[in-house]
Structure 1
Amino acid sequence: MPAIAEGPLPNLLLAGFPKTGTTSLFSLLARHPEIGGSRVKETEYFLPARYGESMGPQSDYRGLFAGTEQSLVRMEATPAYAYGGRPLLDAVESLLGKPKVLFTIREPIARLRSYYRAQQARLRIPVEMTLAEYVSLSAPLGRGALSDRSQDPFLGVIGGMYSEFIPEWSNKFDVRIVAFEDLTSNTPEVLGALAEWLGIDAAPFSGLDLPHDNPSVLYRRKRLQKAALAINSSLEPILRKHPAIKTKARAAYYRVNGRPMPKADGDIDSEVLERFKEANTLLAKQLSELSAYKIPPWLTE
C-alpha cells in the first residue's frame, strides 16, 4: 500500500522483554515533557510480522501518536517485539528508519516465575498449573515457537534467553539495555543515563520514583477477571493519561476480586538452569561489547 506521510511516528521503541519492567519504565519516561508516549503502551503494530501476518494501516499506527508532534522523543513499548526476528526488524526499519531501541532485562529465573504467574492472571493457563508443570511445557520450545501465537503463554524459558535476540537488534539499530534490578535500585542514575542517550534534559526526571505497574494478581471469580481485563484494555488510552485514577480503580477491583499471588515456588529443572547459565555467559560477552548501562550482578556472579 502507498506510504502515508501525515502524522507522527515513534523514534524510540521499548522492544522487550516481557515481565522485565517495561510498563514501569514506559510510565516513567512518559512523564518527561520532551517525551511523548503512544496512547496505548503496547501498540503491537509490528507484531503481525512476527507471525507472518499483514500489519494494519499506517494511519491507525500514526493515530496512536497524535499530540506528540512537538515531542523530541516519541515512543511506544511492545515487549513482544523482541522475539520478532528478521521479518519484524525489517518492518520496523522500513517504516521508522533507524529508531533507538531500548531493552530491559531481568534475572531469567525471576522473570520465568513472573511470566508464569502473569499467564495465570491473564487466564492463559490454568490457575491450578504448578510451576514444574509449566516449565515442562515451556522448556522444549525453541525459536520456532515464537511465530506461533498459541505458544505465547509458554515462552517462560526461551523468552528469558536474551542473548538469542539482542544481537540481531544491535546489528541494525542503536540499542541500549537496562537491567530491571538497576532500574529498581538506582532509578535516578538509570534515568540520567537514558536522558543522555536520548539527547534530552535529565532534570525533569529528578525525584521520580519507579511506579509498580502491571502487577500480577490472582482472582476469585474468573468471569469478573475476564471482564476486568477487557475493560482495562479498552480504557487504557484514558487511564494512561490519568494514572491516579487507574491506581484507585485497580485497588478497588483487587479488594473485590483479587487474592494474593502466592510465590511461584518450586525447583527449576537442572537442564533449564544450565541453559540459562550458558545463555547468560554469552549475554555478558554481548553486553560488554555494547553501550549497556551496567552489567547486572546476576551476570557476574
Structure 2
Amino acid sequence: MSNSVKPNLIIAGVNKAGTTSLFTYLSEHPDVCGSKIKETLYFLPLRYGEKELPPLEGYLRNFEQCNDSKYAMEATAGYYYGGAMVAQAIKSTLGKPKVVILFRDPIARLFSFFKFKKSSLELEQTLTFEEYIQKCESLSPDERVKRENNAYWGVEGGYYSKYLKDWFDVFGDDLKIIFFEHLVADPKTTLVEICEWLGIESENFAKSLTYSVENKTMNFKNRFLQEFALKVNWKAETFWRSHPGIKRFLREIYHVINGASYRDVISPETRKQLEELFQPSNHQLAMELSRRGYHNLPDWLAKELEIVSS
C-alpha cells in the first residue's frame, strides 16, 4: 500500500449544490484525476456515529489510475455535515488535502433535495413540499442525524453555519468555499478561480470546457423505467466517469422517453416561512465568510451583510 495514491483534493459538500458538475469539470483537467466513482462515501460512517471506517485499501483503489496526476480527487457531498469528526479524519488519513465546499441558497437547495429524493424513489410521489417540510421538522435532533432518515435531511441540511467553523479550524487556507449561484452563472470564472487556488493552469482549461448541468433532478413518467435507470446509473458509474459524453447522450434520450415536468412549487407562504427559518444561519454564515475574506457573496448572503451595515 506504500505506493498507493491518496486523494489530495476533496469536494466535501453540500448535496444539490453543484458538486457533480464541479467534479465533472475538474476531472477533465490534465492535472486532476477523478476517483472511479464520484462519491466514495469512505468517511461518511463517522457522520452517523459509526466508529470504524472500511479498510483503507478499498478506498484507495478508487485512485489507482491517478499515479501521474498532481491531484487525485473525490466528491462525497455528505462529508460536510460530519463536521469536526469527518474533517479531522480526512486530515489524519490523507495528510493535507485541499477541500472544496459548495453552498447554495438553502431554500433552493431544500426544494432540489426534495425533488431529488422523489426522483430517487425515496419519497412517496404524492408527498407535497409542505408535508415534506413538516416531516423534516417533526423529527427530533437525534432522529434527524440517523442514516435511515437521510431522505428527511432537507431542512437540517440548510443550516450551513453549524459546521463551517469546524472545517476552517481543521483545514484553514486549504479550504475553499464556492457558491452554486456563481458556478451556474459564470462557470468559466469560477473554474479559473479554483484552478488558480490549486496552482494549476486555468485560463486555457476553462475556455476549453463544455459547460453543462450534471445530476440535474428530473421527474419521470413510468416508475418501472425509473427504477431500471437508477440501477443502471449506479452499477455503471465507473464506465460513465470514463465516458461522460456517452452518459450525456443517453441521458438526453432517457429524458425524452421518460422525463416529466414537476408539479411541485414553492408557495409564497412557504417561501416566507423558510426565509425566516434559515435567516439566523444565513446571517451567521455571511458574517463568518466575510470575516475570512469572502466578499463576493451571492444575493442570499449579501443581503445579510447589508442588514448589518444599514
TM-score range with shorter-chain normalisation?
over 0.9
8 Å Cα contact 1:52-1:147 kept in structure 2: no
Structure 1 partner of 2:292: 290
Instruction: Work out the CA distance in 2 between the residues paired with 1:176 and 1:142.
Output: 32
Distance of 2:144 and 2:192 partners within structure 1: 34
Unaligned residue ranges in structure 1 (runs of 5+): none
AA in 2 matched with 1:188: K
RMSD after superposition: 1.8
Contact between 1:216 and 1:261, CA under 8 Å: does it hold in 2? Answer: no
- Alpha carbons 2:5, 2:67 under 8 Å: kept: yes
Q: Secondary structure at the match of 1:67?
A: helix
Match of 1:229 in 2: 230
How high is the sequence identity, in percent, across the aligned residues? Answer: 36
Amino acid at match of 2:221: R
User: Contact between 2:106 and 2:158, CA under 8 Å: does it hold in 1?
Assistant: yes
Deviations 1:47-84 (A, max 9, x none): 11112333222111111011111111111000000111
Task: Write the mapping of 1:101-112 to structure 2, written as runs, cut at 5 A.
Answer: 101-112=99-110
| Alpha-carbon distance between aligned partners in 2 of 1:264 and 1:204, rounded to the nearest angstrom | 38
Number of equivalent positions: 298
Aligned residues of 2:129 and 2:264 also touching (Cα < 8 A): no
Pairwise CA distance, 1:90: 2.7
- Measure, in 2, the Cα distance between the counterparts of 1:220 and 1:274: 35
> What whole-Å deviation, never above 9, does each CA across 1:218-252 have from its counterpart, x for those lacking one?
22222321221111011011111111110121122
Contact 1:101 1:175 in 2 (8 A): yes
For residue 234 of structure 1, what is the amino acid of its counterpart?
A: K
Aligned to 1:134: 132
The match for 1:7 is 4
The 10-residue stretch of structure 1 (153-162 or 141-150) with the greater mean CA deviation from structure 2: 141-150
Residue 98 in structure 1 maps to residue 129 in structure 2: no
Distance in 2 of aligned mates of 1:32 and 1:96: 22
Indicate conservation of the 8 Å contact 1:188/1:207, yes or no: no
More deviation, 53-62/233-242: 53-62
1:121 paired residue number: 119
Question: Aligned to 2:270, which of 268, 271, 277?
Answer: 268
Is the alpha carbon distance of 1:147 and 1:234 closer, same or farther for their aligned partners in structure 2, counting shifts above 3 Å? same
Secondary structure of 1:176 counterpart: strand
Cα distance, 1:146 vs structure 2: 5.3
Question: In the alignment, which residue of structure 2 is the partner of 1:20?
Answer: 17
- State how far apart, in whole Å, the 1-side matches of 2:78 and 2:141 are: 13
Match of 1:215 in 2: 216
Contact 1:178 1:292 in 2 (8 A): no
Q: Normalized against structure 2, the TM-score is what?
A: 0.90
| Structure 2: distance between partners of 1:300 and 1:126 | 36
**CA-CA distance at 1:44 after TM superposition:** 0.6
- Residue 253 of structure 2 aligns with an amino acid whose one-letter code is A
Instruction: Quote the Cα distance in structure 1 between the aligned partners of 2:63 and 2:187.
Output: 26
Provide the C-alpha distance between the structure 1 equivalents of 2:271 and 2:262, rounded to a whole number of angstroms.
Answer: 22
Contact 1:135 1:268 (C-alpha < 8 Å) held by counterparts: no
Counterpart of 2:79 in structure 1 is 81
Deviations along 1:69-105, whole A, 9 cap, x unmatched?
1111111000000111333223212211221110111
Q: Is the 8 A contact 1:49 1:87 kept in 2?
A: yes
Q: How far apart are the structure 1 equivalents of 2:302 and 2:76?
A: 28
Q: In structure 2, what is the Cα distance between the partners aligned to 1:19 and 1:143?
A: 22
Cα distance in 1, alignment partners of residues 243 and 84 from structure 2:
37
**2:180 alignment partner in structure 1:** 180
Q: Structure 2 matches for 1:190-205, cutoff 5 A?
A: 190-202=190-202, 203-205=204-206
- 1:79–1:291 distance in 2 versus 1, CA, 3 Å: farther
Give ranges in structure 2 of 5+ residues lacking alignment. Answer: 304-310
The residue matched to 1:44 in structure 2 has which SS? Answer: coil
Secondary structure of 1:264's aligned partner? coil
Instruction: State the 1:144 CA deviation.
Output: 3.6
The answer to whether the aligner puts 1:46 opposite 2:48 as a matched pair is: no
- Residue by residue over 1:134-157, the C-alpha shift from the partner in whole angstroms, topping out at 9 and shown as x without a partner, is 011123457544540121111111
Contact 1:48 1:55 in 2 (8 A): yes
Amino acid at match of 1:74: A
Secondary structure of the corresponding residue to residue 204 of structure 1 = helix
Give yes or no for contact 1:176–1:291 (8 Å, CA) kept in 2: no
CA distance, structure 2, for counterparts of residue 262 and residue 30 of structure 1:
34
